[in-house]
Amino acid sequence: MTSKEQSISVSGTSSEDYTSCYYNAADLGGYDDYRWDNPVWQNHMRMLADRVIALAGPKRVLDVGCARGLWVQALRERNVEAYGIDVSEHAIESADAVVRPYLKVQEATKPFGEEYDLVICSEVLEHMAPADAQLAIDNMCAAADRILFSSSPADFDEPTHVNTKPTPTWVSWFAERGFYRRTDVDVTFHNPWSVYFERAQLTPHEIVQRYEQQYATLNAELVEKRESLLLAHRRISDLHDHQVVEERDSALLARHADLIAVDNVIGLEATVTRLEEDLRRARVRIRRLRDNLEERTEQLAAVRNSRTWKVGRVITRPLGRLKG
């Protein structure tokens, strides 16, 4: 491993990793056409701004790892005093001209120097070295009492994700600093692993009650889904068995029809054989009758040619005339 590779593995990513190549190549982990003048991103960020305002009603917001400042711009459209910082010089320089004055190049490991009603940190800490991520958490917790946070827990293919952690790990680190998940707030409008933290002095009873309440809700949903899945499985099994019976009955009927057809063919073949035999016998009989007829005809001709027949004809002819 080279010294540069060792530096990357210890210090995480740097501004050099987030140039135009990153932002223009989705397969390298960036965002396809991630610009304010892209209607898709513009509408999406406006939706996020509306949800944040409805949730927290902040007057001053800091977006840590703001990239090109789309979230900041959407919040400012709604009269929220929003600012953004990002380690990427390219991201800040390529931001829309309207929002650029409210963005600056700054590492999240440096103190922010001001206080805010809300800090947003979306998909940032997984790009930082573990020690730097802890400093960033310190700075966020020092700057605001409420934090909207997300960090991809499983996107390991993205080359700049050098510090990917499961969400419970991040939640526990915020809890160490007195920030707890608002279990009554749903921020999945951002993404499924987003968390809304709030500074609070909670007793063990309150902490357990919050999480047990959420656990009970999720467990009830899980049990209901398992029951539905089991019921669906049983229905599928019944349908499968019914289909098997139908297919078996169909096969039996088809086999029965085949046997009947075979019997009919055998019967027809036997009939044909019998008729052929009857025809052969009839031909033999006809041949015998024809031979007998020929023999009788010859005999009759011989009789008519005999002297006796001729004499008899002469003698009986007058009698025939007298009778006439």
Distance (Å, whole) CA 136 – CA 128: 9
147 contact partners, CB below 8 Å, separation of at least 6: 118, 119, 120, 121, 140, 141, 174, 179, 196, 197, 198
Torsion of CA 268, 269, 275, 279, to 10 degrees: 150
Residue 194 CB neighbours (<10 A)? 18
pLDDT at residue 3, as a whole number = 40
pLDDT band (50, 70, 90) for residue 80: very high
Task: Give pLDDT tens digits for 136-163.
Answer: 999 999 999 999 999 999 877 777 788 8
Higher pLDDT, 23 or 209: 209
Task: From 135, 181, 138, 143, select the one nearest 58 (Cα to Cα).
Answer: 143
The yes-or-no verdict on residue 303 having pLDDT over 60 is yes
CB 185 within 8 A of CB 141: no
Q: Within 13 Å of residue 165, how many CA atoms lie on the same side as its CB?
A: 19
CB 59 within 8 A of CB 133: no
Tell the residue number behind the tokens 């800091």, with chain if given: 62
pLDDT at residue 157, as a whole number = 73
Torsion of CA 249, 250, 252, 257, to 10 degrees: 140
pLDDT at residue 28, as a whole number = 42
The yes-or-no verdict on residue 31 having pLDDT over 80 is no
For 147, the enclosing helix (H) or strand (E) is: strand 146-150
CB 209 within 8 A of CB 215: no
pLDDT at residue 4, as a whole number = 42
| Predicted model pTM | 0.65
pLDDT at residue 15, as a whole number = 64
pLDDT at residue 257, as a whole number = 85
DSSP string, 226-290: HHHHHHHHHHHHHHHHHHHHHHHHHHHHHHHHHHHHHHHHHHHHHHHHHHHHHHHHHHHHHHHHH
Question: Any idea where the domains of the chain sit in the sequence?
Answer: 3-201, 220-323
Query: Which CATH number does 3-201 carry?
Result: 3.40.50.150
Distance (Å, whole) CA 145 – CA 196: 11
Q: What is the mean pLDDT of residues 99-120?
A: 96
Distance (Å, whole) CA 125 – CA 132: 8
Task: From 8, 34, 279, 250, select the one nearest 127 (Cα to Cα).
Answer: 8
Question: Which of 9-13, 158-162, 208-212 is least confident?
Answer: 9-13
Describe the strand order of the beta sheet including 103-105 as a list of residue ranges.
103-105, 81-86, 60-64, 118-122, 146-150, 195-199, 179-181
